[in-house]
Structure 1
């Protein structure tokens, strides 16, 4: 059985410094999950875990913010982007200036729209993208080119 830190794929690119150690310019983690509440829970945990491994501690503002953004995008993928038998994907990218979360699902016809109106006070849903817009530096959605579906992404600028 694989341990959580070996799940998914991770890539690191960079150039060597004078000491021969890499000057990390970008890191990436990506993985597919079942489109279920259990898959969503695992995805959120792995996003937080990966951020911690990249130096953004579990109880730090960056980890908590990006994990919350990811949780909202993941919840939307499971709830609104679910196609029976299809998974959703999560990709987390770190550059020197930015953290980016991408969540991919297979529903092409259901693109997210940020409404300027908040749902009624007793509504049980409809606030997730308001949170994403408020917490992220920018966000958007793009259609997938290689397969049906879309990718909803959000970025958080660092420092």
Structure 2
């Protein structure tokens, strides 16, 4: 992340599932869109109380409006730069993304993403989760219907080339 970058969209309680052949399960995190990057943050330093409050507020916001281009109070560029120090979090240049699209399913909306980072090609699906089961393993029980179009269009408009 560059020092002059600004957060354009910030989604919490996002479930990421790999689309590889033998992958099982997924991971919860935040999806952050800046002027130049898309990031998936699953190891964060923010407090658990902030996370709980903001996920509830996000659910209420999505019931009122499906727009994914939202930001949350209490998490800014400084917190994002701190979280990006952890190598387990993913930071993508827009031109690393070879395919981005979205799909409406009966149970919710899905952001589909393919990218190449280093030598690895990755394929993931992202969905915003409203409710979770925590035992025996954390897993979404209810996903939200959201409008991924402005999010996808923002990235596509800033890509120098697409494959």
Scaled by the length of structure 2, the TM-score of the pair is 0.23
TM-score (norm 1): 0.24
In proportion to residue count, which structure has more strand?
Answer: 2
Q: Which has the higher contact order (CA 8 A, sep 6+)?
A: 2
**Greater helix content:** 1
